Chain A
Amino acid sequence: SSRVSSSGSSSALSSLHTVEGVWPLPQSFTSSTERYPLNPKAFYFGYGRQSAAQQDCSVLDAAFKRYFSLIFPDYTSGSGDKPFTVEIRVDHADCDSYPNENSSERYNLSVSAGQASLNAETVWGALRGLETFSQLVYQDDFGTYFVNKTEIDDFPRFQFRGILLDTSRHYLPVQAILKTLDAMAYSKFNVFHWHIVDDPSFPYQSRTFPDLSSTGAFHPMTHIYTQSDVRRVISHARLWGIRVLPEFDSPGHTQSWGKGQSDLLTPCYRGSTPSGTFGPVNPVLPSTYQFMARLFKEVSSVFPDSYIHLGGDEVDFSCWKSNPDVRAFMQKMGFGGDFTKLEAFYMEKIVNITSALKKTSIVWQDVFDYHERIPKDTVLHIWKGTPASYKEELSRMTKAGMRVLLAAPWYINHIAYGQDWRNYYTVQPLNFSGTEEQKKLVIGGEVCMWGEYVDATNLTPRLWPRASAAAERLWSDEKQTSSVDEAFPRLQDFRCKLVRRGIRAEPLHVGHCKHEYQGV
């Protein structure tokens, strides 16, 4: 790839009017100072003659509508009389499908006088290309829109680029989730990992087990996700090319489940009597697995993605240890005093349930750490440790032939004073010892926004643009994006774009945006 910068200086704002203003940075690009004015009144999206998708392609028609407003935030000032057409050509008319783990997001964008050609294998790739095109358009001081002559060939470095939101520790109104999906698309994230339930609350309204939310949610009417809420999130995400990956974490992190499902959790004992408190899911009762089979049957039909996150992290053994029935079961199974074996026993049964439903399981790293007897197609999710320890974990897991997803360096709920985005940016996900084959098993990464201190009041400014730093790491070529200082002005510019689009993205440092956020 080659770079031609219009001003020759990467720090000058004018250079951001070229392709370098795109975030995350495309893989391969050329741009020139030759520029074309765009007149909103003579601007068109069209389907190429050879495109497999044509008019009435739901995904692209919706995208044209969205991107017109994003490209021309105020289109009162139309100038230049020549028409301009963005012509889309895709190889597959996958307009009514859902994006999946194998979806190609590659696109090719060529901007010349009067037209831009956007070619992609899939509509998902076309969406990424439209986002890039929208970021190439800029306004001069008099409000005229321009785009420079540009050639881009782009594809993601990693297939899985996720954001985790936690709707259990605080309930997030559906609007907040939808807005996050919008912002995710602007940074080319493609997986919404919905950590939908946990200890504090169970907002998912289950068709099969309505008591789970009616007693386990913070409020049975106002703090739940109905089936139509969930469908709305999934369909909104689909139109942005985003997968929705639900997590139903067990056997730990399930206090809220117990409120609506008696006998699901393990009764803890003090001495020889039940203490009245409950621990993790009770792994010794057949009723537990009957319940889980029915719940996951529902979940697998509600959520179309082929992945389901099963959790499996941070299981506290003290309650299991206190319970005489659990101890008796341990004896019977020959587990001795090793409760990790009991946990493994439980997780294996849960993974088998989801496998039978034709779903790929993702589990937190704890499950691998305790035992390596998990089906090979399970994806392992690393969330713990220092760079040294997660790199070692990456080596071990990939050596065992497992696919891995990295979240440890991107726990973005942890805040600190100053420009901590720099830390998220400089992560090197493949910098661990292992063969090329091992490296290929790293399917991507995920930014986690755990909810202890986050709700709709502060989610957006805490997430953006910090998550965008990780987005570039997961999409772009690492060599081309190795300098944080070069990234800084581009990210500042991108942050102002987010603000202009109504996303409450916080500032990186002192400065201003032409159009400041006007809310409270």
Chain B
Amino acid sequence: MITALKFTLLLLALAFAQGLHYNYIDELDKEAGTVRAVQASQYVSLWPLPQKVKILDLSFKLTSFNIVDAKESSAGSSCSLLQDAYRRYYEYMFGIAKRQGPRKSRLTGPSELTELQVWITSPDSECDGYPSVTSDESYELSVDLPYAVLKAPKVWGALHGLETFSQLVYEDQYGAKSINSTAISDFPRFAHRGILLDSSRHFLPLKVILANLETMAMNKFNVFHWHIVDDQSFPYLSRTFPQLSQQGAYHPYTHVYTPADVKMVIEFGRLRGIRVVPEFDTPGHTQSWGKGQKDLLTPCYSGSKPSGSFGPVNPILNTTYDFMSQFFKEISTVFPDAYVHLGGDEVDFTCWKSNPDIQKFMDQQGYGQDYKKLESFYIQKLLDIVTTTHKGYMIWQEVFDNGVKLKPDTLIHVWKGNQEQYQSEMANVTSAGYKTLLSTPWYLNRISYGQDWHGHYKADPQDFNGTEEQKKLVIGGEACLWGEYVDATNLTPRLWPRASAVAERLWSAKDVTDINDAFNRLSVHRCRMVARGIPAEPLFSSYCPREYKGI
């Protein structure tokens, strides 16, 4: 249930927010410290909208403010994840300047909020752990005197609660901060809320990846799906097979992710409650692998001779599986997440068809001309390999479509088709009892003129014909930013705030669908991202109090 918020004045409030706040000051001067009537403008910036919100017409000033551990909290000052987050959110709310130098000592007035106490309620705060698909991300926030309290069973909920708290803070014309008396109880609708970035078609410098993890946290995304390698380049520096990036990256030194880089991404994500799920897509999309790993790819033939070009991974050689075993063993230790994405999409059979050894193998196996069976054979062996590394796996929908035998806890990633097609795919996948997540309506690399976020906002992963049990198998979705036309120059403004629309769909209650209300809140949310240094592009003609200063 969402407390009904009156958004009728929002458009006005958005455009004249500063003016309205200015009026509050006047009132405050007249009746210092007493309850004041406020407009809806402070509510407008919550994004994604929490499950339950109650904001009172009672505001507190934030002049001398701190975020501290509640003394009952199971995570104290030794929890660096939280301490790091306190500092981050303090800076978001008050800027860096205020932290430096001693604060003026002054008496606090009756309407002044001085503290946010963060209380991790469960005995195991998970402070030093990694987030997972089953992590408890819920939190409760109470903003009231004498101090505000953020209660969460685990640190993951606390991180989201801090973001929400920071979104409640607003400022007047002169930068003075206030917050209204508020009660929020919040939890995500879906457990898997992801962003896919593609670092193969264009290399993405570390700084861009980190900035986007930062922005993901502002939008309560919790999975970074790292489509790290593909046909075009292999930037992942493997300790076991260093020649893969040595030969397959755009450049062996400047266009690679070293083990230290990968570690940094994972830890940066963890500190923000974000899982890092790597994708090593096979057997297709592997041209770059072939440069550093001889005999891994299938030699294509033209007539009776090798043509010199290569196709998908060669599924008939034992060496292929030896390589994959070693490779995925490394991956399973480098990436702590319980899942690895194995791809399996868009396998082109023409090269396999051309290769006489493969034809012979097909005959031996009794596959006839059904290359899907060969694909299944490969995937099946790969899944067995990955299972021995104690990882769960995600795969693109084709693997399911082609009837590969899968472990019951496999996650099927739906990415194809029009609305009718993906909805029927979701129905099929869930009726077969598999868990699934949706990306089809959220291919954000596809751009068009105008406010295309409307379409992203309206898509709902549970909108398909199926039982309640089937709907429960939908664990979430991912916004995908494929890299054909995207690199560090344009990634951030292309992703934000369009991905924010997806964030609300995956976090907020199903009935949060009012597009006008969303526009008002999202406009302010986008300006908040800009104020935090993220070049999130505009939704429509308007302005931000603090425009983007980088160029």
Footprint of B on A, CB under 8 Å? 169-171, 173, 175-176, 179, 200-201, 218-219, 222-223, 413-418, 451-458, 460-462, 499, 504-512, 514, 516-520
Contacts and interface: CB of A to CB of B under 8 A. Distances in A.
Contacts of B548: 173, 455-457
A519 B203 CA distance: 13
- Chain B contact residues: helix, strand, loop or mixed: loop
Contact of B490 (A416, A417, A418, A458): A458
A179 B232 contact: no
The 5 closest A-B pairs by CB, nearest first: A461-B490, A457-B535, A458-B493, A218-B543, A512-B250
A515 B176 CA distance: 43
Contacts of B542: 170, 200, 218
Contacts of B449: 413-416, 453
A276 B535 CA distance: 38
Interface in B23-52: none
B300 interface: no
A516 B538 CA distance: 25
Interface of B: 18, 201-203, 205, 207-208, 211, 232-233, 250-251, 254-255, 445-450, 483-490, 492-494, 530, 533-545, 547-551
5 contacts: A415-B449, A417-B485, A457-B538, A505-B489, A512-B250
Interface centre among A175, A413, A456, A499 (most CB of B within 10 A): A456
A116 to B, nearest CB: 31
A455 B487 contact: no
B492 A520 contact: yes
A451 B450 CA distance: 11
A175 B551 CA distance: 7
A506 B537 CA distance: 15
Nearest to B235: A512
Contacts of A179: 551
A504 B535 CA distance: 12
Given A171-B547, A518-B207, A520-B550, A458 B537 contact: yes
A51 B537 CA distance: 48
Contacts of A453: 449-450, 537-540
Contact of A222 (B483, B540, B545): B545
A75 B155 CA distance: 49
A451 B232 contact: no
B448 A416 contact: yes
B487 A516 contact: yes
A458 B535 contact: yes
Contacts of A175: 549, 551
A284 to B, nearest CB: 29
A416 B541 contact: no
Given A218-B543, A507-B486, 10 more contacts: A219-B543, A415-B448, A417-B448, A417-B485, A452-B541, A453-B539, A456-B550, A457-B492, A458-B538, A512-B251
Contacts of A452: 540-541
Contacts of B494: 458, 461
A505 B486 CA distance: 11
A191 B542 CA distance: 26
Contacts of B483: 510
Given A170-B542, A415-B449, A507 B537 contact: no
Nearest to A173: B547
A170 B490 contact: no
B211 A520 contact: yes
Contact of B255 (A460, A499, A512): A512
Nearest to A505: B489
Given A173-B549, A455-B547, A517-B487, A507 B202 contact: yes
B484 A509 contact: yes
B551 A460 contact: yes
A170 B551 contact: no
Interface centre among B202, B211, B233 (most CB of A within 10 A): B202
A509 B492 CA distance: 17
Contacts of A176: 551
A51 to B, nearest CB: 35
A231 to B, nearest CB: 20
A415 B202 contact: no
A215 to B, nearest CB: 12
B80 to A, nearest CB: 25
B162 to A, nearest CB: 22
Contacts of B255: 512, 516
Interface centre among B18, B251, B445, B548 (most CB of A within 10 A): B548
B489 A461 contact: yes
B551 A504 contact: yes
B201 A510 contact: yes
A461 to B, nearest CB: 4
B355 to A, nearest CB: 26
A169 B490 CA distance: 21
B545 A510 contact: no
A433 to B, nearest CB: 31
B488 A518 contact: yes
Contact of B541 (A170, A223, A520): A170
A471 B536 CA distance: 28
A9 to B, nearest CB: 19
Nearest to A177: B551
A511 B493 contact: no
Interface centre among B201, B251, B493, B550 (most CB of A within 10 A): B493
A195 to B, nearest CB: 13
Nearest to A460: B551
Contacts of B254: 514, 516
A509 B201 CA distance: 8
B485 A520 contact: no
Contacts of A170: 538, 541-543
Interface centre among B203, B534, B541, B550 (most CB of A within 10 A): B541
